[in-house]
Structure 1
Amino acid sequence: MARTAATPPSHQRFGRRIERPDGRDFPFYDGLPTLIPGRRWAVVVAAVVVGFAALVLTGPLFPGPILSFVPAILFVAIPLGAYVWAAGGHRKAIFHRVTGRDVGVMFGFAALNVVVTFVVGGIVAIFSGVSANPLSNELEHASAFELAMFYPRSGIQLFGEELLTILPFLALLYLFVQRGGMSRRRAVLLSWVITAVFFGLLHLPTYDWNLAQSILVIGTARIILTLAYIRTKNIWVSTGAHVINDWFLFTLPLVLGAATS
């Protein structure tokens, strides 16, 4: 339908935009800086699924500390390529310059996530038990070279996990606001929770199909990491928080083990 003088833009029809002092808000859901149509969002979400499948299915085909970069790169490149195509000249809308304040936000959310993970994990362990991440055992027996390769490779993969979450979050935000007529606040909340549950469910094979651990522990961790994006609208910040969080959790046992050996 053509917009007339009596038809206000979508960001007025669906409620006030809630912005940071720098004027930044979520992109694409209300026509600013552009509106990505539903068909393009469908392609982006499909690419997210294909990228994750590439990570899981090609992993055994590329063993070793060097070749294992290939699945991680595919995990990033496939959804990122689809997003760049969909966003066109506005592809930088989820990427912003990282400031000193942003670095502080990364560490703050990473620290919060570590605390919450231990607390929620402890509660879940009491009632249903938890399974260890098999990667922890692999790192314990890894060579120095394998450890050196693990950190940059995992950094790439963690960026892929942010794309896996943030791109569907933005797609749902568009769907709920433009197609469902929801308020911005309700759409953000629903998109936030749905993508956290989705992220947790994807970790079921990693944690021996422990549903409580995947939903409550991993899903809660995802809630906090996504909040870093919600607060800053900058995927580099949520990625930084994710990297700091995971590197700390994987490195701490190695340091403690070396100190007690």
Structure 2
Amino acid sequence: MTTLIAWGNIHTPFPFHDIRADLIPANLLTLSHGNPRMQQRWQCRRLAHFLLWQLLKMAEKPTALLGQISRTESGRPQFPSSELDFNISHSGDWVAVILHSGQNGEKSAVGIDIESPSKVRPYLALLEHFASTEEIHWFQQQTNPTSAFYRIWCLREAVLKSQGVGIAKLSEVTHQPETLQIISAHCPRGQLLFTDELPFYLAFFVNQESSTLPQCFVWSDHALVSQQMPNGVCYEVNSSKK
């Protein structure tokens, strides 16, 4: 059982065309026009594809899987084997990819979310749309409201993305920050970690019960450079499920 996470910035050069041509989707080859925002998102998608290619090699999995990605009914990308799962997130100029390989027929399910805030948002007003009264009370007691908000937001996104569920279901994730528990009918049992010690806020979910930390890497100096997993808050997800 292996979990790998890689992140990078689109302004750090990466040799995208080292990927075999038949493993690159047509929409990632060229972008003939587009405003700066579209250009940024296109570059993020290219970097995500590149990082996934790198992680497949590191996990000793066939890179040909890049050409076998399909989508679920909800539009979530997936590999043909249920033992191998991946998820992607990007925010601003940053991209993160998680890859999890199960064992003995175990079905893998992972979700990842990153947020790189560029401006102050009306955090309390946003929370009132999906957070519980108890959760909002906890938020109001925190000394770092920005980190607290993105903790509440990212953990929801990560567990929902593991099943391809959209943010319309944010209110259907119960977050208990005092006991570090997350409950949702939209994901299996597992663990989630949130950290605010990177250039972006990060939360990732893995449907495993062990506390084994993932191997982390950052794309830098023309290679994936190993990183120590940043300190963070670890949650049990659906711990009452059998």
Say yes or no: TM over 0.5: no
Greater percentage in strand:
2
Greater percentage in helix:
1
- Using the size of structure 1 for normalisation, the TM-score is 0.29
- Using the size of structure 2 for normalisation, the TM-score is 0.31
* Structure of higher RCO (CA pairs closer than 8 Å, 6+ residues apart): 1
